[in-house]
Structure 1
């Protein structure tokens, strides 16, 4: 059975794909080259989009500044690519879930290793 996706979900997924490509190919700022987009949430009125990102370097203020500086360019490129009536304002939020997952995995590995010793 086909999954039912709302229009907002489809827009959010398209924004994530387009932003990832734009950051990889078009943004020249070296601060944002090591960023991974983990998700996008778009408001019901399409006025704002919360873009969740993570980086191998962790949450650095330089990375957020680089993303915020590129937000206008990224928004204008999205407007050309997506043909929406309203192109959302981009708000970048650091996603620490990847780090938390790695930390929990490390704790589980340590617990399993200590059980094997006992």
Structure 2
């Protein structure tokens, strides 16, 4: 078994090789808008998971997935030529959910900012229910 540092280094190399292979070797128009975001390799170096994003709607994403599945053999051969391991790892392509999660997070932050602004507006015109300073001071009240 390989150590995790070697697997991480190999994953970075596979990420670069797959991205270059998509750009240079694969002529399918369905894979033109794909960005390879990450790659992970198992510790035994037998399986690589490649994460990608596609700019576009649902049809562009499904077309990209189909194009990647069709180009998997070409990309695996390209990986085999460019890395130095005894066995070329199998490739699995997974759509990266980071853009979806980021847009959801941005929407939540926008709602929180609106609520904060509304609360600041209300607190600017609010009055205290009791004294402005409710704490006892060492002033004239001695018991």
TM over 0.5: yes
Residue in 2 that maps onto 1:61: 62
Q: Give the deviation of 1:115 after TM superposition.
A: 2.8
Gaps of 5+ in 2: 120-143
Q: Normalization by structure 2: what TM-score?
A: 0.72
> Displacement, 1:83?
2.8
Secondary structure at 1:85 match in 2: coil
Cα separation, 2, equivalents of 1:46 and 1:58: 34
Instruction: Encode CA deviations 1:14-51: one digit per residue, 9 max, x unaligned.
Output: 00011111112221111111111121111122221111
- Which residue does the alignment assign to 2:37? 38
Task: Measure, in 2, the Cα distance between the counterparts of 1:14 and 1:65.
Answer: 24
Q: Which moved more, 1:7-16 or 1:26-35?
A: 26-35
- 1:23 is aligned to 22
Alignment of 1:62-101 (within 5 A): 62-101=63-102
Whole-Å Cα distance in 2 between the matches of residues 72 and 45 of structure 1?
Answer: 21
Q: CA offset at residue 62 of structure 1?
A: 1.6
Corresponding residue SS for 1:6: helix
Tell which structure's C-alpha radius of gyration is larger. Answer: 2
**Which runs of 5 or more residues in structure 1 are unaligned?**
none
Q: CA RMSD in A?
A: 1.7
Normalising by structure 1, we get a TM-score of 0.86
Post-superposition, which runs of at least 4 consecutive aligned residues in structure 1 deviate over 3 A? none
User: Following the alignment from structure 2 to structure 1, what is the Cα–Cα distance between the partners of residues 62 and 54?
Assistant: 12
CA distance in structure 2 between the partners assigned to 1:49 and 1:32 by the alignment: 19
1:113 Cα deviation (Å)?
A: 2.8
